[in-house]
């Protein structure tokens, strides 16, 4: 998450490698899927049978169980394969892969690059960011997702955006799942290796669904010095698609920034929309219901990250972040932002929510 210079449209930097160039604070109630089923049964038997109790306890609704490491979709785990794309995407998100990617991206263990094992201790220097970009690209490709590194220059700095692209079976529309690659010259476990792990995990999960619409999974570089990488990417790649295919081809953007710290064990998260999310916020809420997510999702107006460039272009976007909303994170832009500060079960749940929403948007099913 950035707190420095914001590179706006009027000061968009020229980049080598690029050819061209409203708030709510209320909680939205989460309706549990099994409560709806029970209610339906009550109506069916209303004429001849006594009504059965169908409500879940408040503690069950909150999802705040201390051992919340299991798949939250109880129906999927007890009754066979997932019944819809949201559940299928969520079921593919596993903790071992999350730990492995987080460890490699924060220097806790060497990243197994094709060029040899490399320790990515920070993602602020050019060498650290280049290594992280290569790791992300190779991870996408290992998952069967074609990827490229988009190098650019900004003043004396060199940047490395990474884009993995899941081509849709119809390819008529485009969805972006994003995070930022760089850190504040630290391990940047929560800010924003957590978001990078989210797009890597989502790539594997969504690949299995053969999505109808094209999904772009993007790691933006130089976010910490003014949202630079996203300025260039939205202005070029997104702009080109919009120019060639029109506004109706743009579904929108789900951006993850700092999604791994669970303050107080409440599994709270914030969805920043500012009234500009289009179909994104509704998809997140539908996904939460469909997978019976333990995440307590609160809506707010929240900027200060790469999703802002979609808003500035008049395109839908929403950001997911943990309940601290950036500045409340105790190790924000500090050396202590290390892997041990990340709650892995919580991170898994936020990734499941994002991936499930992406599935509903890009791989819609009849009646889903």
Cα–Cα nearest to 276, from 249, 228, 309: 309
Q: Which two tokens stand for residue 312?
A: 């500035």
Measured CA to CA, the distance from residue 158 to residue 177 in angstroms comes to 23
- Residue 359 clears pLDDT 50, i.e. is over it: yes
Any idea which residue has 């307590």 for tokens? 296
- Which residue, 347, 354, 182, 160, is CA-closest to 252? 354
Counting residues of the chain whose pLDDT is more than 90, the rounded percentage is 74
In the predicted model, what is the mean pLDDT of residues 84-95? 97
**Does the pLDDT of residue 14 top 80, yes or no?**
no
- Please compute, for residue 97, the number of CA atoms within 13 A of its CA located in the half-sphere on the CB side: 19
Q: What is the mean pLDDT of residues 233-257?
A: 97
pLDDT at 87: 97
Q: What pLDDT, on a 0 to 100 scale, did the predictor assign at position 72?
A: 37
Q: H or E element: which one contains 194? A: helix 194-207
**Span 7-17, mean pLDDT?**
38
Q: Which of 167, 256, 260 is nearest to 219 (CA)?
A: 256
Q: What is the pLDDT of residues 134-148, one digit of tens each?
A: 999 999 999 999 999
**All structural domains of the chain with their residue ranges:** 83-362
In angstroms, the CA 202 to CA 176 distance is 11
pLDDT digits (tens, 9 = 90+) for 327-358: 899 999 999 999 999 999 999 999 999 999 99
pLDDT, position 82: 59
Q: Is the pLDDT confidence value at 10 over 50?
A: no
Residues paired with residue 111 on neighbouring β-strands, in sequence order: 118
User: Which pLDDT score, from 0 to 100, does residue 366 have?
Assistant: 54
Residues 311, 317: Cα–Cα separation, whole Å: 7
In which order are the strands placed within the sheet that holds 174-180? 147-154, 157-166, 214-220, 174-180, 250-256, 317-322, 268-272, 296-300
Residues 180, 227: Cα–Cα separation, whole Å: 9
247-256: average pLDDT? 97
Q: How far apart are CA 359 and CA 163, in angstroms?
A: 18
Instruction: Give the burial class of 66: count Cβ atoms within 10 A of its Cβ; 0-12 exposed, 13-18 middle, 19 or more buried.
Output: exposed
Interval 235-244 mean pLDDT: 97
Q: For the residues 210-238, what does the mean pLDDT come to?
A: 97
Q: What distance in Å separates the CA atoms of residue 33 and residue 101, rounded to the nearest whole number?
A: 32
Do 75 and 105 contact (CB within 8 A), yes or no?
no
pLDDT band at 208 (very low <50, low <70, confident <90, very high): very high
* pTM check: above 0.75: yes
Q: How far is the C-alpha of 240 from the C-alpha of 348, rounded, in Å?
A: 34
Place of tokens 């943990």: 322
pLDDT classification of 2: cutoffs 50, 70, 90: low
Mean confidence (pLDDT) of the chain = 83
**What's the rounded Cα separation, in Å, for the pair 294 and 267?**
7
- Name the least confident of 30-34, 290-294, 318-322, 361-365: 30-34
* Cα angle for residues 188, 190, 191 (degrees, 5° grid): 55
CA angle 131, 134, 138 (to 5 degrees): 140
Q: 14-18, 45-49, 94-98, 356-360: which range is least confident on average?
A: 45-49
Comparing 79 with 309, which gets the higher pLDDT? 309
DSSP helix/strand/coil, 10: helix
Q: Which CATH superfamily is domain 83-362 in?
A: Zn peptidases (3.40.630.10)
60's tokens: 């069950």
Residue 277 to residue 184: CA distance in whole angstroms: 28
Measured distance between the N- and C-terminal CA atoms of the chain, rounded to whole angstroms? 33
Structure tokens at 16: 């080598």
Please give the Cα distance from 172 to 349 (Å, whole number): 30
Q: Is the pLDDT of residue 305 over 90?
A: yes
State whether the Cα torsion 67-73-75-81 is positive or negative.
negative
């Amino acid at each position: 998450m950035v707190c420095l210079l914001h590179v706006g449209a009027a000061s968009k930097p020229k980049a080598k490698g690029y050819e061209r160039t409203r708030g709510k604070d209320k909680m939205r109630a989460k309706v549990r899927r099994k409560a709806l089923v029970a209610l339906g049964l009550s109506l069916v038997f209303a004429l001849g049978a006594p009504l059965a109790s169908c409500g879940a306890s408040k503690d069950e609704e909150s999802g705040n169980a201390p051992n919340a490491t299991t798949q939250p979709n109880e129906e999927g785990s007890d009754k066979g394969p997932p019944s819809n794309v949201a559940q299928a995407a969520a079921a593919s998100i596993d903790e071992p892969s999350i730990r492995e990617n987080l460890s490699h991206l924060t220097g806790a263990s060497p990243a197994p690059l094709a060029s040899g094992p490399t320790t990515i201790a920070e993602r602020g220097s050019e060498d650290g960011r280049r290594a992280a970009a290569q790791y992300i690209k190779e991870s996408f490709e290992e998952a069967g997702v074609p990827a490229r590194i988009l190098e650019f220059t900004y003043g004396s700095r060199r940047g490395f955006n990474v884009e993995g692209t899941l081509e849709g079976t119809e390819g008529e529309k485009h969805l972006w799942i994003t995070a930022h690659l760089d850190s504040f010259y630290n391990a940047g476990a929560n800010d924003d290796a957590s978001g990078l792990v989210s797009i890597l995990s989502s790539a594997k999960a969504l690949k299995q669904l053969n999505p109808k619409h094209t999904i772009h999974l993007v790691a933006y570089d130089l976010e910490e010095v003014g949202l630079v990488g996203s300025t260039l990417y939205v202005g070029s790649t997104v702009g080109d698609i919009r120019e060639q295919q029109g506004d109706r081809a743009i579904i929108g953007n789900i951006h993850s920034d700092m999604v791994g710290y669970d303050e107080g064990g409440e599994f709270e998260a914030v969805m920043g929309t500012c009234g500009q999310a289009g179909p994104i916020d509704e998809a997140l809420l539908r996904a939460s219901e469909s997978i019976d997510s333990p995440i307590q999702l609160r809506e707010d107006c929240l900027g200060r990250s790469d999703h802002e460039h979609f808003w500035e272009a008049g395109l839908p976007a929403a950001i997911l972040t943990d309940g601290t909303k950036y500045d409340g994170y105790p190790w924000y832009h500090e050396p202590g932002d290390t892997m041990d500060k990340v709650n892995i079960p919580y991170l898994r749940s936020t990734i499941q929510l994002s991936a499930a929403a992406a599935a509903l948007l890009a791989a819609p099913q009849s009646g889903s």
